[in-house]
Amino acid sequence: MCVFYRNNNEELSVDGMSLGAIAKQYGSPLYVYSAAGITDAFTRFQNAVAPVNGKVYFAMKANSALGVLALIGKLGGGMDIVSAGELARAIAAGIKPSDVVFSGVGKTNDEIRQALACNIGQINAESQAEVAAISAIAKEMDLLAPVALRVNVDVSPSTHAKISTGERNTKFGISTNQREACDIYQQMAKDPHISPAGLAVHIGSQIRDLAPFERAYSALLALAIELRNAGWPVPNLDLGGGVGIDYDTAGPTDFKEYGLLVQRLFAGQGFNLGFEPGRAIIANNGALITQVIYVKQGGDKRFIIVDAAMNDLLRPTLYEAHHAIWPLDKPGISTSKADIVGPVCETGDYLGLDRDMPNLSAGDGLAILSAGAYGAAMASNYNSRSPAAEVMVVDGAAHLLRAARPIADYINDEMIPNYTDIPE
């Protein structure tokens, strides 16, 4: 069952609190997360990979609120990061750097230096040039860098093109074709400044079918065994994230089948396994609450104009993503289809198109479901809008995770050059 449910008064609620009441207190638009839901999802994922001793590194790019990271840290999670900014967040949330894996195709020298300086658990390198850069920096710092190679096993995950990373022609990983990955791994294993940490793979996101995982993991395992048989240490296999969720029901994700697949492939093979789920832990445990500003009829269309916009939740326009949208109060009978749109000056600024919606009027509240992942983390200041604040409900009480930044703060960051020499 979805963590967002109707209470006895038909008010959409989470963990005993009505979302309308939370929005009244903290304002609208507002992200609301469920600590109980996150705990449940994370724990079930951990349990699904426990038989193979899997360690779970939450992919922070899905949601980087410190309050979310600290909760996952408390549950035993490490972090998968993609920038020095995310490293700073992991540390600020109390995560041990040794429990952090650094992914990403374009780590700068400065980012590599920062990661090594705090004794990061593992860097997943994605090119020969990156391995060389890490080696040079490790030499300069006089330490041994723990580096795994992210390989590209050329598996299409059959998901949206913008979140597909597994094919040969994407920018991700080192191709296992033409033996490139094998050669680079051997070179790396001989490097006196690198401690070879193993291999990593991540084929994409929102993958709802196990077949692409099976193909990718089988290819990774074959390469790992080949390298190990050749005498090279391959301690860790990082199996990435990508497990998909149900955006129609916004219900919890079952990890049992995924766990069984991993057991079938890796049990008894002698590798330490790492996992990097992001979306599957947090997406359905967060909703974006918004309020109707106006309703208008444009030609045959009903437009419901709300106070949340693409700067708060980019997924609908970026990925053509579908999010369920539910009225906060008792929903009447659907009267006609409507587009739910924001105030931003872009035709692409919508949260849902052609949705069956009851009669709504100014002030009515809506919840955009499944917004916990790639929602607040992707928010921007576009149109000089301050992104929605974030709240976590813990044991029936709401806690502010991040206040909306006052527009004055953005303005105060900026400077106007002295234009006195320019004729008016």
**Closest separation in Å from C-beta 244 to ligand PLP:** 7
Spatial distance between the Cα atoms of 339 and 350, rounded to a whole number of angstroms: 7
**Closest separation in Å from C-beta 258 to ligand PLP:** 11
The contacts of residue 259 (CB under 8 Å, 6+ apart) are 47, 48, 49, 51
User: DSSP assignment, residue 100?
Assistant: E
**Closest separation in Å from C-beta 94 to ligand PLP:** 21
Active site residues per annotation:
345
Nearest partner of 351 among 324, 330, 378, 386, judged by Cα: 324
Judge contact between 168 and 205, C-beta under 8 A.
no
Nearest partner of 32 among 60, 4, 8, 10, judged by Cα: 4
Contacts with ligand PLP, residue ranges (CB under 6 A): 59, 61-62, 80, 103, 202, 205, 240-243, 276-280
Judge contact between 155 and 216, C-beta under 8 A.
yes
Nearer of residues 202 and 323 to ligand PLP, judged by Cβ: 202
**Closest separation in Å from C-beta 184 to ligand PLP:** 18
Provide the terminal-to-terminal Cα distance of the chain, rounded to the nearest Å. Answer: 65
Nearer of residues 102 and 326 to ligand PLP, judged by Cβ: 102
**Closest separation in Å from C-beta 199 to ligand PLP:** 13
Strand partners, 402: 390
Ramachandran bin of 156, using left for φ above 0, alpha for ψ from -120 to 50, beta for the remaining angles = beta
* DSSP labels, 141-180: HTS-EEEEEEEE------S-GGGB--STTSSSSEESGGGH
Nearer of residues 99 and 276 to ligand PLP, judged by Cβ: 276
Spatial distance between the Cα atoms of 320 and 300, rounded to a whole number of angstroms: 22
Nearer of residues 241 and 286 to ligand PLP, judged by Cβ: 241
Nearer of residues 80 and 312 to ligand PLP, judged by Cβ: 80
